[in-house]
Chain A
């Protein structure tokens, strides 16, 4: 805070000098019009109830000094600009620009970008540096020893059953900070050649909530530490001759470097690696350790690795007679990542010589570094012609190749959750290569004097991939659009698309690998019929008034032979109605209302894997275990805005109101759900089904409850210039979020619960807030 005052004061002095300078110069006749210059200095006050961080998600609205500065000078030959905003705060920004008209542009910008997760998060973990998180060893020992009355991780949802770690947890603000510096230069060598160079560096620090499980009932959430930087460099040479076209060659390099290759965190259930006293393969690990917490003393995971990407691109445009152009680009890309691969496990009871005879693949890593490389080739060629005012034709061919040339990694041996060594035959990396060929052609027929065009198009989009159930898929799309754009009273734009997707090269083995039924299809690769449409109608009965109606819909049906499980259908519809009224130069206002709907249908079967035991009950084949889920979300949106610019003497008033209301419901159906909802659950006891779940429980099915939220925002800003160059501003912003989310757990007093059933978390979740920010400021324009 002290820094903010000092920086603001310094800038105030600096700006005062500029003002004085400007005033002195004002006496001399101006040679050229000056660019708008102003600065605002004031005080901001923010009050919040509830989730303060969510109110300030990407902003720093802390109470204190508030500042904005625009300084500019234009000499007729060049222009200089300087701007700064929210000086001294997490979201501060500064920009300096120089433009020598027609020859040179220089720019330097710095932007701070916070991402505030929650200010009342809490954790019993202590940061030990290098992304290592520790828990009190004595407490872990008590939990490991199962001392009477000690609860390590809760097995009861009741909020008054506290984990012993609750008392050790301390509150901390969880946020991440992204600081970006962007430097640019564009130089016009002569009338047809130019070069440009840009450099951007982004530093990301702070924390973010991150899952860190030892398994189902031993799930942690850690405030993972962030410390990484991305440097991006671009250099281009462009040559253009307006009558003939242009060509541009460009290099782009992007380099990501993280300071943390791993994250390590203590197991709250154990102070030492689990040891059942047996020799491999019966121990010393617990074969069920990945589900019951009988795992390691601490866990270790790999963080997203440092990596780089280099791209060389060439763009070209060739202009021909008859309003004909041929353009395209070619880009060669190489992505590489060669970070050290971490050991299989942190568990010393597994990572030792006694284990390796039974799990030989764990004795040594297949290779010590990732040695991962992707070669990319992207090519586009575009042809467009408009030989007459009545007809136009365009054609495009696009080729994208993402070729993963990383050597296969044999993942047959692994250690699950650092708890259990495993051998899973056939687990090789797939090499996620993607090769896409897209051809698109369209013809436009125009009635030029009527301002109306009808366009027909065809797209064939063919994709080949590795590691998927369908190796290939092809989308065939027909498209028709109507645009009536030049009538004084209305504009109409409509488009209708019909797509048929056909998947081929089905590999049932890929579905089996994931434990799925043979009739499962992945929606993004299986056969699909899609109808997509949109309509935009703008009515302008007078020059002062317009009404806009926007409708759109997308309807997907996932079908094809054998498709019984998975996502079966999905629908999106959207309707928005808006109106604007321009009374005069001083008064404009508008309003909008919209409804978006999303709906999807999934089908599943709850079953054990097929056992093939003769005479045994096979739930795998029992259609009575089928269930469906209808996921439906409706979002209503509204907005109102009013601008009164000098409608009152020397005063500008701007007002806006925004509203968004969402209701997401989950409706379960199918025979299995009907069984569960039966009063006595007798139906659950199908032949051979002796699950304990039915014992003494009237129903153990609990559907997900609706997730809802309502967000409102109101902003008003009043600016009164009591002198031509001096004024006062008063702004107020109000926001309110009401939200219910079954995935957020609280204590009885509404504060975050960090020890919900089966986990030690940071308490991060979706919570309501009400926030208000008032800014009073002095404005000086010169």
Chain B
């Protein structure tokens, strides 16, 4: 019997990979600014003037309507904060000439993102540069619309965040339509209930340090710690559950008892004659002369299978709960 607390495995820095990581990281920190010498980030140009009211005579569709109700329109921001060469564009247009076009179409995602992060690199966006979305060149305007947002909040291109996410993550959309699901399609939850799509620090862009910590946010009763704990439960909720949806009760990834058989499969003496549920004894009626308590189809009871008896499978606080039966 071993335990982390008794192993005395010492400092986490004893792991070679940790030293490698720290060393490489420090090296990169020292070298990168050197490599980037002379390419310091320029502060945004001063943006005196060129507010929505200056531009709306031509661009009324862009700066009127929904845009007028956004924080961008209300805050002390101007068109020139995001669009470049606005003055030159105005002068050229006034003179009836072709001038620079301040459109952001065709601008690289990294450049676009940088414009947005000038103001928004804080709060939820603090680690966006390290996020998978950023690193794969997904731009802010892939999801957000500055001028014609359709959502009530967050200026999204669709009515809600789930629709925005589904535009790429279609497998998740399909899962949300399964019989066992979180109330996303009912509008009671959103993808952003669990994920921060700007997140670069936490795994899977979650809003917590780990999958389990995230699940505990709502399912606080599962948090424990318990007197008796079920190791895979404590390690990773998605060992058994698919939070995006499933066709099995309680969003488990496979039908019980099949789910439990992924680990607990070989004969354990659990079933008297050494046989397994639902194979040799998975019959609806006890045979004539069978002993009292003969395991029958009730082992498949109400979709719960093993948890019919192992009911406190997430952990037990009972002194007789070693097998999660109390």
For the complex, is B272 an interface residue (Cβ under 8 Å from A)? Answer: yes
Most A CB contacts (10 A, CB to CB) among B41, B229, B249, B316 go to B229
A394 in contact with B135 given A384-B129, A451-B108 (CB within 8 Å): yes
A635 in contact with B247 given A524-B239, A604-B266 (CB within 8 Å): yes
* CB-contacts of A568-619 with B (<8 A): 574, 576, 578, 592, 594, 596, 598, 600, 602-609, 619
Selected contact of A337 from candidates B114, B225, B308, CB within 8 Å: B225
The minimal Cβ–Cβ distance linking A202 to chain B, given in whole angstroms, is 8
> Which single residue of chain A is at the shortest CB-CB distance from B122?
A240
B contacts with A, residue count (CB < 8 A):
160
Selected contact of B201 from candidates A256, A327, A386, A441, CB within 8 Å: A327
Q: Quick check: B33 and A33 within 8 Å, CB to CB?
A: no
A460 in contact with B264 given A483-B137, A485-B137 (CB within 8 Å): no
CA distance A102 to B74 in the complex (A): 9
The minimal Cβ–Cβ distance linking A634 to chain B, given in whole angstroms, is 11
A337 in contact with B209 given A305-B317, A344-B319 (CB within 8 Å): no
Q: Quick check: B171 and A574 within 8 Å, CB to CB?
A: yes
Most A CB contacts (10 A, CB to CB) among B2, B119, B222, B249 go to B2
CA distance A757 to B188 in the complex (A): 38
CA distance A230 to B258 in the complex (A): 33
Q: Quick check: A322 and B17 within 8 Å, CB to CB?
A: no
A339 in contact with B317 given A325-B130, A744-B303 (CB within 8 Å): yes
For the complex, is B53 an interface residue (Cβ under 8 Å from A)? Answer: no
CA distance A324 to B34 in the complex (A): 11
CA distance A408 to B224 in the complex (A): 15
For the complex, is B91 an interface residue (Cβ under 8 Å from A)? Answer: no
Q: Quick check: A433 and B4 within 8 Å, CB to CB?
A: yes
CA distance A325 to B298 in the complex (A): 59
For the complex, is B103 an interface residue (Cβ under 8 Å from A)? Answer: no
For the complex, is A557 an interface residue (Cβ under 8 Å from B)? Answer: no
Q: Quick check: B123 and A238 within 8 Å, CB to CB?
A: yes
* CB-contacts of A256-299 with B (<8 A): 256, 258, 288, 291-293, 299
For the complex, is B147 an interface residue (Cβ under 8 Å from A)? Answer: no
CA distance A417 to B217 in the complex (A): 32
For the complex, is A11 an interface residue (Cβ under 8 Å from B)? Answer: no
For the complex, is A555 an interface residue (Cβ under 8 Å from B)? Answer: no
For the complex, is A743 an interface residue (Cβ under 8 Å from B)? Answer: yes
Q: Quick check: A455 and B135 within 8 Å, CB to CB?
A: yes
Q: Quick check: B262 and A602 within 8 Å, CB to CB?
A: yes
Q: Quick check: A466 and B317 within 8 Å, CB to CB?
A: no
Q: Quick check: A322 and B40 within 8 Å, CB to CB?
A: yes
CA distance A627 to B282 in the complex (A): 14
For the complex, is B267 an interface residue (Cβ under 8 Å from A)? Answer: yes
A319-B121, A326-B29 given. 7 additional CB < 8 A pairs?
A101-B74, A111-B188, A211-B307, A383-B25, A389-B110, A658-B177, A761-B301
> Which single residue of chain B is at the shortest CB-CB distance from A565?
B266
Chain B positions within 8 Å of A215 at CB level: 293, 309
Contact with B along A685-724 (1 / 0, CB 8 A): 0000001110111001111100101010100000000000
For the complex, is A381 an interface residue (Cβ under 8 Å from B)? Answer: yes
Q: Quick check: B320 and A481 within 8 Å, CB to CB?
A: no
Selected contact of A304 from candidates B129, B221, B249, B305, CB within 8 Å: B221
CA distance A164 to B9 in the complex (A): 59
Selected contact of B188 from candidates A91, A403, A455, CB within 8 Å: A91
For the complex, is B94 an interface residue (Cβ under 8 Å from A)? Answer: no
CA distance A524 to B17 in the complex (A): 22
For the complex, is A142 an interface residue (Cβ under 8 Å from B)? Answer: no
For the complex, is A1 an interface residue (Cβ under 8 Å from B)? Answer: no
Chain B positions within 8 Å of A248 at CB level: 122-123, 126
Chain A positions within 8 Å of B320 at CB level: 344-345, 414-416, 418
For the complex, is A404 an interface residue (Cβ under 8 Å from B)? Answer: yes
For the complex, is A550 an interface residue (Cβ under 8 Å from B)? Answer: yes
CA distance A415 to B317 in the complex (A): 14
The minimal Cβ–Cβ distance linking B323 to chain A, given in whole angstroms, is 8
The minimal Cβ–Cβ distance linking B4 to chain A, given in whole angstroms, is 3
CA distance A255 to B304 in the complex (A): 29
Q: Quick check: A609 and B267 within 8 Å, CB to CB?
A: yes
Selected contact of A433 from candidates B5, B249, B258, CB within 8 Å: B5
Q: Quick check: B322 and A383 within 8 Å, CB to CB?
A: no
The minimal Cβ–Cβ distance linking B310 to chain A, given in whole angstroms, is 8
The minimal Cβ–Cβ distance linking A723 to chain B, given in whole angstroms, is 21
* CB-contacts of B147-172 with A (<8 A): 167-168, 170-171
The minimal Cβ–Cβ distance linking A557 to chain B, given in whole angstroms, is 14
Q: Quick check: B4 and A435 within 8 Å, CB to CB?
A: yes
For the complex, is A365 an interface residue (Cβ under 8 Å from B)? Answer: yes
Chain B positions within 8 Å of A704 at CB level: 255, 258, 278, 282, 300
The minimal Cβ–Cβ distance linking A609 to chain B, given in whole angstroms, is 4
For the complex, is A773 an interface residue (Cβ under 8 Å from B)? Answer: no
For the complex, is B6 an interface residue (Cβ under 8 Å from A)? Answer: yes
For the complex, is A331 an interface residue (Cβ under 8 Å from B)? Answer: yes
Contact with A along B112-130 (1 / 0, CB 8 A): 0010001101110011011
For the complex, is A496 an interface residue (Cβ under 8 Å from B)? Answer: no
Chain B positions within 8 Å of A382 at CB level: 127, 130, 200-201
For the complex, is A662 an interface residue (Cβ under 8 Å from B)? Answer: yes
CA distance A157 to B312 in the complex (A): 27
Q: Quick check: A627 and B267 within 8 Å, CB to CB?
A: no
Chain B positions within 8 Å of A565 at CB level: 265-266
Q: Quick check: A327 and B317 within 8 Å, CB to CB?
A: no
CA distance A606 to B287 in the complex (A): 19
Q: Quick check: A322 and B39 within 8 Å, CB to CB?
A: yes
**Per DSSP, are chain A's interface residues mostly helix, strand or loop, or mixed?**
strand
Chain A positions within 8 Å of B286 at CB level: 155-156
Q: Quick check: A321 and B39 within 8 Å, CB to CB?
A: yes
Q: Quick check: A435 and B276 within 8 Å, CB to CB?
A: no
Selected contact of B41 from candidates A321, A462, A592, A672, CB within 8 Å: A321
The minimal Cβ–Cβ distance linking A423 to chain B, given in whole angstroms, is 12
* CB-contacts of A150-165 with B (<8 A): 155-158
CA distance A188 to B222 in the complex (A): 36
Segment among A125-133, A166-174, A370-378, A774-782 that sits at the interface with chain B: A370-378
For the complex, is B57 an interface residue (Cβ under 8 Å from A)? Answer: no
Q: Quick check: B210 and A242 within 8 Å, CB to CB?
A: no
* CB-contacts of A532-584 with B (<8 A): 536, 548, 550, 552, 565-567, 574, 576, 578
Q: Quick check: B247 and A514 within 8 Å, CB to CB?
A: no
Selected contact of A324 from candidates B36, B123, B325, CB within 8 Å: B36
Chain A positions within 8 Å of B213 at CB level: 333, 376
Q: Quick check: A507 and B2 within 8 Å, CB to CB?
A: yes
For the complex, is B47 an interface residue (Cβ under 8 Å from A)? Answer: no
What are the 5 closest A-B residue pairs judged by CB atoms, nearest first?
A322-B36, A515-B268, A433-B4, A608-B274, A758-B298
A765 in contact with B284 given A305-B226, A373-B225 (CB within 8 Å): no
The minimal Cβ–Cβ distance linking B27 to chain A, given in whole angstroms, is 10
Segment among A16-24, A41-49, A734-742 that sits at the interface with chain B: A734-742
> Which single residue of chain A is at the shortest CB-CB distance from B202?
A380
Chain A positions within 8 Å of B97 at CB level: none
Chain A positions within 8 Å of B276 at CB level: 604, 606, 627
Q: Quick check: B325 and A401 within 8 Å, CB to CB?
A: no
A337 in contact with B283 given A304-B314, A596-B171, A759-B298 (CB within 8 Å): no
Q: Quick check: B236 and A403 within 8 Å, CB to CB?
A: no
Q: Quick check: A607 and B267 within 8 Å, CB to CB?
A: yes
CA distance A516 to B268 in the complex (A): 6
For the complex, is B178 an interface residue (Cβ under 8 Å from A)? Answer: yes
Q: Quick check: A759 and B301 within 8 Å, CB to CB?
A: yes
Chain A positions within 8 Å of B298 at CB level: 216-217, 219, 756-759
Contact with A along B1-22 (1 / 0, CB 8 A): 1111111010010010110111
Q: Quick check: A210 and B225 within 8 Å, CB to CB?
A: no
For the complex, is B195 an interface residue (Cβ under 8 Å from A)? Answer: no
Chain A positions within 8 Å of B254 at CB level: 598, 600, 631
Contact with A along B226-257 (1 / 0, CB 8 A): 11110110111001000000011100011110
* CB-contacts of A14-72 with B (<8 A): 33, 35-36, 54, 57-59
Chain A positions within 8 Å of B258 at CB level: 602, 629, 631, 666, 704
